[in-house]
Structure 1
């Protein structure tokens, strides 16, 4: 890559536009995209130098902030050409991100048919499958034979986003079935389409959430899926390249939320510093206020701590163990929900598993905690003559806190999903804060119960 950048920089220095154009047009699309990332100030010039088809293919794989920067600096005629040639789904994605006036100006550059198509796609909800679909596909009738299908494909296939799958519709446009192209190519030319149909149709609804579409693609080996309305009328198709893009965005957003921040709508290095701070400060304030409750909880047990100062030594151990187990459970459940392995209806099964695993994990840490106190008493009297009570308090508290952390971490994402919120917002820091406060109450309650009349 360094050699490529050096060659480009040399051509730019020589101001040899013809050689620059020739060099760029001979590179892979992904290499040009990488060059734009490495030399962002020359991005518009690179796009302008490419042939139209290659410029479109490069432009459509750029992230939106880069697309926006390029649009602002490209000649109007070049922008119009690129927008006209963009696949409808990519065009819709671009329009949905741009400001209204810019979108209006771009839509006016389209033909009447493309303009109608763009406005229709923009009419669907932002996170719906309708925003991802393209109307470029090939349909056939079940009464046709393979000869007619192939002739139809030669005539209209070049305008389709993919010809891996053909869609069988009836006279009203209702989707009946889908057939893979290989099934057509491997049978006799006189074979009727009806003979190839298996009626095992998988389709998306135009109003389905995009996240649901990701799961459908994940569970089925398809490069494209048809999109229908509530009456099963075929409206378009969604291809796997768009789904992979959305899946990456969803994954990135969930990871950012799990980390205790709002989802970033721009790449980290492109986001203005003050905007980045604004994205982070809200969660930090909420978590800070939550952690203040730990001081309230400790204040409630101030008298007990004064009588047995040794209890305070284990506060960090107790609350961190509960927070860690809660964060583990929360992350595992959020990931399982994102993959479609767990739904809200599975809450009881999840709870049973977390009760058992929480007890086993808590027992493991509790035994280690007790043995640690026992080992220290062999060399010092830091825990005093009642070290067994201290050890039992810490051991039993670890069982309770880890069990509670596992339950809270696993149930919160499911509860948020049930309430219609994003499960990722029950982030690890949020769960940890909740378990910190309740963990202290569990710890000191057990201490009071075991040590009353002896140390307290």
Structure 2
């Protein structure tokens, strides 16, 4: 059922004249839909209505749906459901969802909820919430399966059978020593196929791909994608197993990182509050202004240089007014070529398919590509130049097209590498920034070529 249809169905069932039949229909409705499909609908309902629907779900499924809700909805439901109900809900939530929810609450709600939790849950929340935002530790879960190295396959399977209900995943179990240092990983498949008396250490893979809890979360997503892992073990500073990052959390990280890069490339400020975490429908007008205004102001002042360049060549423009006709065409072509190059380079750097050491190779290749693109575009625009203003202007326009496309492409290629070298996000080489730089260069290139090629015409116009 489509979200909009499901939303209106809930509204109809939650009417004032509520009947036992409506109650049965709501229960049947929540039972036949996935948690990820129900959560967006609950986000749209009024908090009182959303709380009523949640209470018709079994507690484990209710916790699953709750984990998919928007942070703002989760916070509002604390008062609606009550601290006692929220405490029971937290108790059955996945460890990572539990910490995310807790961190999104204000201090008053945190202090109200924490005393009602079991000591194990309190310690787990304190440990996981101590990691800085954006680190691997902030997204890992402590619900992982660990096995002692002296166990045999039969004993390990029995241990996993007992622990499975409380673990995020048991497809891979991590072998640790008495100090919880990571020794290896063993798959559930290998345990099942092995003879019961086989030692776990004989089955495990000791060459384990892991990550430090202090590293950036995007590195965890990259490793999970690169090595095709279901989960990535996380170690702390003492090389002890601290938790795991699952592939679904890695997907969330990848989506968030991609959203941030897209915002940066569009010239949207990453320093504005709520970036990437607030639905566009929920974002306030002031928040959207904060997101977009800083870069727009920077670009406004950058474009002043374009105007200054045009003013510097007033004599050339007065002598050959037809040059103005081709100005937007040439400037946009350079900016467009630069945006294409920047997009390709930023994506290559983000996915690890290009590195700083590849700068010269990629720049050399881009020069060849840009020249060919510029020549092709120059041939097309020169025909318009001959028809519109004569062969002299056509030569100027064709030469400028090649130069501006080359300049824009080089800016778009080089800027992400320069920013990476300066330890800045390459995505800051946004399309508006590259376009503005290409515009300034394009104006200077165009009128410089025109002044040189048409110097006789300009001199004659000045003498007259």
- Category of TM-score, reference length = shorter chain: over 0.9
Q: Size of the alignment, in residue pairs? A: 447
Give the deviation of 1:319 after TM superposition.
Answer: 0.8
Pairing 1:447–2:450 present: yes
Task: Determine the structure 2 residue equivalent to 1:379.
Answer: none
- The counterpart of 1:86, out of the listed 88, 93, 111, is 93
Correspondence list, 1:90-169, <5 A: 90-169=97-176
Distance 1:247 1:71 in 2: 29
- The counterpart of 1:23, out of the listed 12, 22, 28, is 28
Closer, same or farther: CA 416–40 of 1 in aligned 2, 3 Å: farther
SS at match of 1:453: helix
Closer, same or farther: CA 54–200 of 1 in aligned 2, 3 Å: same
- The counterpart of 2:340, out of the listed 283, 304, 328, is 328
Task: Determine the structure 1 residue equivalent to 2:251.
Answer: 244
Task: Determine the structure 2 residue equivalent to 1:9.
Answer: 11
CA contact (8 A) 2:40 2:69 kept: no
SS at match of 2:336: helix
Task: Determine the structure 1 residue equivalent to 2:262.
Answer: 255
Distance 2:204 2:120 in 1: 33
CA contact (8 A) 1:416 1:423 kept: yes
Give the deviation of 1:436 after TM superposition.
Answer: 0.4
- The counterpart of 1:317, out of the listed 326, 329, 336, is 329
- The counterpart of 1:371, out of the listed 383, 386, 408, is 383
SS at match of 1:166: strand
Residue range with higher mean Cα deviation, 127-136 or 19-28: 19-28
Correspondence list, 1:215-234, <5 A: 215-234=222-241
Closer, same or farther: CA 105–224 of 1 in aligned 2, 3 Å: same
TM-score (norm 1): 0.92
Distance 1:44 1:342 in 2: 49
* 1:24-76 superposed Cα distances (whole Å, 9 cap, x missing partner): 54232233224314434522222233221111000101222232232342222
CA contact (8 A) 1:311 1:390 kept: yes
Closer, same or farther: CA 3–421 of 1 in aligned 2, 3 Å: closer
Give the deviation of 1:363 after TM superposition.
Answer: 1.4
CA contact (8 A) 2:332 2:439 kept: yes
Task: Determine the structure 1 residue equivalent to 2:364.
Answer: 352
SS at match of 1:342: coil
CA RMSD of superposed structures (Å): 2.0
Structure 1 stretches lacking a partner, 5+ long: 377-381
CA contact (8 A) 1:24 1:32 kept: no
Structure 2 stretches lacking a partner, 5+ long: 460-464
Residue range with higher mean Cα deviation, 340-349 or 209-218: 340-349
Pairing 1:391–2:394 present: yes
Closer, same or farther: CA 148–88 of 1 in aligned 2, 3 Å: same
* 1:351-388 superposed Cα distances (whole Å, 9 cap, x missing partner): 122212111111111121112223x1xxxxx41xxx32
